Amino acid sequence: MNVHVLGSIDSATIMTDGLEIRYQYGKVRVSILGPRIIRVQVTRTENYRDQESFARVPYNEDVQWDAFEDADSWTINSELFRLEIGKPTFSFVVYDQEENVLLESDKELALEWTPDGFRYRLKMHEDTHFYGLGEKTGGLDKRGRMYVMWNTDSPYPSIDADPLYQSIPFLITMTNNIACGLFIDNTCLSFFDLGHSSNEYFLFGADAGPLDLYLIVGPEISDILQAYTALTGRPLFIPRWALGHQFSRWTEYRSEMDIIRLATEFRNRMIPCDTLVLDIEYMDEYRIFTWNRRVFPDPHRLSRQLSEMGIRLMTIIDPGVKKEPGYFMYDEGMAHNFFLRNNDGSVYVGLVWPGETVFPDFTRAEVRNWFGSKYSLLSDCGVSNSSWIDMNEPSNCIYEGLRNEYSMKSVVDHEGHPWESQLRNVYGLGMAQAVFEGLKRVYPHQRPFVLTRSGFAGYQRYAATWTGDIHATWEHLRLSIPMLLNLGLSGIPICGADVGGFADDIESELFIRWYQLGSFYPFFRNHSNISSSLREPWLFGDEVLQLVRECVSLRYTLLRYLYSLAWLASQTGIPIMRPLVLEFQNDSLTHTVDDEFMIGSSLLIAPVLDKNASSRRVYLPACTWFDFNNNRCINGPAVIEVDTNLSTIPIYVRGGSCIPVGKLVQNTDEDQGDLHLLVYPGGESTLLLYEDDGISADGPSALRTIRVESDNNMLSVIIGVRTGEWHPPIRQILVEIRTLDHSPRQVLLDGIDCTRDLLSLQGRGIGVMMSDDGCEHHLVVHL
């Protein structure tokens, strides 16, 4: 027993929000922050933290609890949990009120100090699964692996590369179907050994910095996500256009006509598209906030022409500023002392695209304000209210074959403390904040869209993300699913991977499979490397073009559903793209499924991930399912083998669902016409339909609840009253009840028999039309 860790107990005090225990060599503070959130801080010095948290937002919820002491433990009891603290080594056990153990530290050696940091050891059971940790390689379940949090540019990452671009030290554990969250609010290099070096324990720790833990009590994963995003901030609500299809490529543009031509192709070929994205070559020798005027003499004309075609322009911005007297960013930053400095007082100079580069210190509010205000230069050129921010790990020294990062060990923060160990991991978060807030000042009444490569826990407040420079391989296609699912389980609901893969050439079969999967990524962008084969969908032949058109079009018809889910994510932290375990937590067969996923609660997507596949296996959890493509009913739980050809995207609808769809449009600003509700029997559900103008930050919105209930004899749809001040254009509601293989006995709309007015929808089922007058409507179908 390692009694020297904290030593003997001096005193213990019960405070208004918890407990403080003073040991011979340190002290511990346990605070009950909310019904599900326990904060545990341990220190061997006077202060629990030297710095405010970068991840947190203010949070405090009332909670009733009481504490008891006996010879060698304390017990804190509240409505949702019981926490037992072992005195001698500061071990702890978290129970739910049914006596299930959620988390249990080792009794003998829970905490260990390392030279400047700590490690904590917790018990792992046979049935323990691990989720979260943000953007990581590996499967959905992280068990058996070891991960490090250290923001790193990882050009062309291998299939199990670690660390990657961002750090989210937030873990969800689940044992016997009961989940618990663990957030380590420490920005230094941290690690998670999840059964990599032991079969009985998992460990986490950090090289330096505070031991500041949050334990988040389940039992549901969704409870934990709501609490975690209450603590670290709800995800930004992106504008609707950001859910549209985007096309991007790192390439040397020859003239603005290259961009106009792309837009024209998308329109002529009827592939819906919302946004074209310019990568670093649009700048004047990589000077941020400038244009290469030889190629783009009049960016405003370009953006105007695009906007006439219903396409927005988005541009990349890197953090690094070219070191060049006379360049306004450099001169202004130098004049105000905005750049990171070395311990000898000189400005730190790195090597990035512009050559010698200096780095704004985004931890300072005045630097964020300055940087953010530069977005008026882009808005003046008609660039949309958005920014793609890259290289903000920060990436440094691209000339050393991209692999050798320059050390930034000599850098100190504004107060002279070492920067790299404490602040490297929040560089991307700070940049995202600067950009988000800058855009909000430039466009005060609109919601910005920021896409960042790097970040730390909490960056969901400011930005969406993509998974960096993955390869155009079948392995990376498959890997993108667990990566995005775990980002979603880490508070980042808006995420995607480069459709078509960033690096390498691509064959047409992989390309179409990637589009079919990518159509369901929350963030949906085709992007590729300067040296990869071209990715324009029309370069792969007519068949591929047609298939790309089909899956992109399907996404656009589902836009109302996706948009409501994006709104829901911004209110709750519950992701759009969900692992099956989030929806069916009690079904142990879902716990490791990561080649299928749900979109919301209603759609299960099982994309084809193998070359030359003529079928694929699909697991359908316990409920009624309908094949979206042919309405065939399948009763789960079931493992089915579904035949596939190049055009197949296996999609299953959960029985009892209502999916709001709309007319196919070519960009998301177009009106989608009548509100078309696809309703399925075989279960029940409640849908929250959110609508607004798609872009306003403070404009009117409308919300309605649509409730479906059904049994063998009856199906009812209750369309709740529309609340809020947003009004749709005059339109009808079409309720389409799919899958009915016979005419219903009777159909009542608001109590009136309308059996004879049913629309027959060419073998797809029946339809009922009503006016969308904002009032409540009841539809009852007697089968």
CB of 392 to ligand MIG, least distance (A): 11
Q: Are 737 and 709 in contact (CB under 8 A)?
A: no
**453 sits near ligand MIG (criterion: CB under 6 A):** yes
CB of 250 to ligand MIG, least distance (A): 4
Residue with Cβ nearer ligand MIG (258 or 509):
258
Residue with Cβ nearer ligand MIG (280 or 589):
280
CB of 261 to ligand MIG, least distance (A): 20
Element (H, E) at 223: helix 221-232
Interface map 490-509 toward ligand MIG (x if CB under 6 A): ------------x-------
Residue with Cβ nearer ligand MIG (316 or 544):
316
Distance of CA 200 to the CA centre of its chain: 31
Cα separation of 183 and 170, whole Å? 4
Total binding residues for ligand MIG by CB under 6 A? 12
Q: Are 65 and 77 in contact (CB under 8 A)?
A: yes
**468 sits near ligand MIG (criterion: CB under 6 A):** yes
CA dihedral 459, 462, 468, 472 (to 10 degrees): 120
Per-residue DSSP letter, 234? P
Residue with Cβ nearer ligand MIG (502 or 520):
502
**280 sits near ligand MIG (criterion: CB under 6 A):** yes
Tally of CB atoms within 10 A around 541: 10
CB of 297 to ligand MIG, least distance (A): 22
Cα separation of 608 and 614, whole Å? 9
Alpha helical stretches, state H, 22-164? none
How is residue 246 written in tokens? 């985007």
**393 sits near ligand MIG (criterion: CB under 6 A):** no
Residue with Cβ nearer ligand MIG (352 or 581):
352
Catalytic residue chosen out of the listed positions 141, 207, 256, 390 = 390
Interface map 511-530 toward ligand MIG (x if CB under 6 A): ----------------x---
Give the 3-state secondary structure of residue 347.
strand
Cα separation of 596 and 654, whole Å? 14
Which one, of 734, 624, 765, lies nearest residue 685 by Cα?
A: 624
Give Cβ neighbours of residue 526 (< 8 Å, ≥ 6 apart). 245, 246, 247, 248, 249, 498, 499, 500, 515, 518, 535, 537
Residue with Cβ nearer ligand MIG (316 or 675):
316
In sign, the C-alpha dihedral spanning 489, 491, 493, 499 is: negative
Residue with Cβ nearer ligand MIG (250 or 289):
250
CB of 249 to ligand MIG, least distance (A): 8
CA distances from 714 to 183, 427, 576, 736, 752 (A): 46, 57, 30, 15, 16
Residue with Cβ nearer ligand MIG (18 or 157):
157
Phi-psi region of 122 (alpha: psi -120 to 50; beta: other; left: phi over 0): beta
Residue with Cβ nearer ligand MIG (247 or 443):
247
Stretch that binds ligand MIG, among 56-64, 128-136, 172-180, 390-398 (CB under 6 A): 390-398
Which one, of 635, 665, 449, 464, lies nearest residue 556 by Cα?
A: 665
- Taken as a whole, the chain contains a residue count of 783
**456 sits near ligand MIG (criterion: CB under 6 A):** no
Residue with Cβ nearer ligand MIG (37 or 352):
352
CA dihedral 88, 92, 98, 102 (to 10 degrees): -150
CB of 551 to ligand MIG, least distance (A): 22
Cα separation of 390 and 154, whole Å? 12
CB of 527 to ligand MIG, least distance (A): 6
Residue with Cβ nearer ligand MIG (34 or 468):
468
Residue with Cβ nearer ligand MIG (391 or 608):
391
**351 sits near ligand MIG (criterion: CB under 6 A):** no
| Residue 393 known to be catalytic | yes
**398 sits near ligand MIG (criterion: CB under 6 A):** yes
CB of 252 to ligand MIG, least distance (A): 12
Among 141, 390, 393, 594, binds ligand MIG (CB under 6 A): 390
Q: By CB under 6 A, what part of segment 643-702 binds ligand MIG?
A: none
Please tell me whether the peptide bond between 729 and the residue prior to it is cis, using omega within 30 degrees of 0. Answer: no
Phi-psi region of 382 (alpha: psi -120 to 50; beta: other; left: phi over 0): left
Contacts 24+ apart (CB under 8 A), 118-123: 118/42, 118/205, 118/206, 118/211, 119/203, 119/204, 119/205, 120/203, 120/204, 120/205, 120/211, 120/213, 121/201, 121/202, 121/203, 122/201, 122/202, 122/203, 122/204, 123/200, 123/201
The amino acid at residue 609 is L
Residue with Cβ nearer ligand MIG (7 or 155):
155
Give Cβ neighbours of residue 80 (< 8 Å, ≥ 6 apart). 35, 36, 96, 97, 217
Catalytic residue chosen out of the listed positions 193, 279, 361, 393 = 393
Q: Are 643 and 632 in contact (CB under 8 A)?
A: no
Catalytic residue chosen out of the listed positions 469, 583, 627, 736 = 469
CB of 395 to ligand MIG, least distance (A): 6
Which one, of 396, 389, 530, 385, lies nearest residue 446 by Cα?
A: 385
**580 sits near ligand MIG (criterion: CB under 6 A):** no
CB of 359 to ligand MIG, least distance (A): 15
CB of 400 to ligand MIG, least distance (A): 12
Which one, of 445, 453, 596, lies nearest residue 517 by Cα?
A: 596
Which one, of 317, 364, 306, lies nearest residue 337 by Cα?
A: 364
**469 sits near ligand MIG (criterion: CB under 6 A):** yes
How is residue 584 written in tokens? 């069916």
Cα separation of 677 and 220, whole Å? 29
Among 38, 211, 316, 464, binds ligand MIG (CB under 6 A): 316
CB of 388 to ligand MIG, least distance (A): 8
Q: By CB under 6 A, what part of segment 192-231 binds ligand MIG?
A: none
CB of 281 to ligand MIG, least distance (A): 8
**What backbone phi and psi angles, to 5 degrees, belong to 32?**
-95, 105
| Residue whose Cβ sits closest to ligand MIG | 250
| Residue 390 known to be catalytic | yes
Binding site for ligand MIG (CB under 6 A): 250, 279-280, 316, 390-391, 398, 453, 468-469, 502, 527
Give me the active site residues, please: 390, 393, 469
